[in-house]
Amino acid sequence: MDGPSGSGKSSVSRGVARALGLRYLDTGAMYRAMTWWMLRQGVDLDDPGAIGARCGEPLIVSGTDPDGPAIHVDGIDVAGPIRQAEITSAVSAVAAVPEVRARLVALQREIVGSGGIVVEGRDIGTVVCPGADVKIYLTASAEARAQRRSAELGDSTVRAQQEAMARRDTLDTTRKTDPLLMADGAVELDTTAMSLDEVIAEVLRLVAE
């Protein structure tokens, strides 16, 4: 499951995994965890060389339970801290560093193993799981995505949220290494006018096809 921020990847993936009794992996949480560690270490995030040189140091452990996705860095539970605005605004710069992607993609492939899992992110259909049985590219209008995120966080106006998301979308779609794009064989689902339950039902229908 790939798509931009607020398109519904996490909620839809968790719902689908629950319905099918599958595991669930939030790869965005791993990039957020790497960013949390870099900031804590005082690494200069304007220096891709410094990020690349140190990204092998943190031990990032990600759970796969759709009912309670867990994420730890060096044994510290970072599920809460990685959602803070400071991380959200810094993560795309860290995720653009090729060494970071190589390390996290290798970890993600290890977790995926022989399958039985719903994986969500930005490069799942293109890089992490190109052989996936079902590939979905979720979209929604910029307004709908900003409205959803702002309702969820309750701490910013829709307009501020839309600007922040547009900035991140640009970074994620224009980076040189593995930018966000629709994978070969992916089905695009525009969720702008759909409820969460409708999207989950549609994905389950595609899986059953």
Phi-psi region of 154 (alpha: psi -120 to 50; beta: other; left: phi over 0): left
Assigned token pair, 50 = 């410094």
The residue behind tokens 């398109």 is 7
- Nearest-approach distance from CB 83 to ligand CDP, in angstroms: 8
27 binds, among ligand CDP, ligand ADP, none (CB under 5 to 8 A by kind): ligand CDP
Task: Work out whether 191 is an interface residue with ligand ADP (CB under 6 A).
Answer: yes
Burial of 179 (0-12, 13-18, 19+ CB in 10 A): middle
Question: Which stretch in 31-39, 46-54, 56-64, 147-155 sits in contact with ligand ADP by CB under 6 A?
Answer: 147-155
Instruction: Find the Cα–Cα–Cα–Cα dihedral 63, 174, 187, 199, rounded to 10°.
Output: 60
Task: Give the integer Cα–Cα distance in Å for 186 and 66.
Answer: 23
In single-letter form, the type of residue at position 70 comes to A
Exactly one of 103, 122, 135, 148 binds ligand ADP (CB under 6 A); that residue is 148
Task: Work out whether 57 is an interface residue with ligand ADP (CB under 6 A).
Answer: no
Task: Work out whether 3 is an interface residue with ligand ADP (CB under 6 A).
Answer: yes
- Nearest-approach distance from CB 208 to ligand CDP, in angstroms: 26
135 binds, among ligand ADP, ligand CDP, none (CB under 5 to 8 A by kind): none
Which spans of this chain sit near ligand CDP (rule: CB under 6 A)? 5, 9-10, 27-29, 31-32, 91-92, 95, 121-123, 168, 172
Task: Give the integer Cα–Cα distance in Å for 159 and 146.
Answer: 8
- Nearer Cβ to ligand ADP (51/162): 162
The residue behind tokens 């969500």 is 120
Task: Using alpha carbons, list the distances in angstroms from residue 70 to 119, 178, 181.
Answer: 14, 25, 27
- Compute how many residues bind ligand ADP; rule: CB under 6 A: 16
Question: Which stretch in 30-38, 43-51, 86-94, 189-197 sits in contact with ligand ADP by CB under 6 A?
Answer: 189-197
Exactly one of 7, 92, 139, 162 binds ligand ADP (CB under 6 A); that residue is 7
For 135, phi and psi rounded to 5 degrees? -120, 130
Contact residues toward ligand ADP (CB under 6 A) are 3, 5-11, 148-149, 152, 191, 194-196, 199
